[in-house]
Amino acid sequence: MEWSRTQTFKLIQAFKGHDILWDSTRDDYRDRAKKLCAWAAVASQVGASVDECRKRMESMLASFRRERAKVVKSARSPVGGYRPKWAYWKELVFLCDSNVLRGLADNLEKPPPVHPTEIRTLISPSSAVELNTTSALANYATEAGF
């Protein structure tokens, strides 16, 4: 089946509405019978077969994981943040673990804070200043909003 953008957006919305398919914190997340029922409901909403919907979502989730990895990697870089241009990023961002991508989905322009381990590399080698790691971590946590 060839998926149009409209059908793909419809699939994502149907998938999002059945959190048993993606929320691993649910008690019944591993219940295959319930998942099959959820996939049947998704397929019915989209007007495609269960297999077609599952294959399309597997492909979409693989692309989403690649984009998410780029965002996470760029957040660690002092150069700046990667802004996903993939058409379905915003629709699937609900899948992000809030601890991993806190704030990155909505505010990718803001440069990431400097990590305490990078502080030493930012100080000139001739400097005789010795950093107190504990205070550096405390300052980092305060600036990062933890």
Q: What is the mean pLDDT of residues 19-48?
A: 94
Q: Torsion over CA of 126, 129, 135 and 141, rounded to 10 degrees?
A: -20
Q: What is the pLDDT of residues 108-125, one digit of tens each?
A: 444 445 555 555 555 444
Q: Name, in order, each residue with C-beta under 8 angstroms of 63's C-beta and a sequence gap of 6 or more.
A: 86, 88
Instruction: Grade residue 133 by pLDDT with cuts at 50, 70 and 90.
Output: very low
Instruction: Grade residue 97 by pLDDT with cuts at 50, 70 and 90.
Output: low
Q: Output the pTM of the full model.
A: 0.64
- Residue 62 DSSP code: H
Which amino acid is located at 67 in the chain?
E
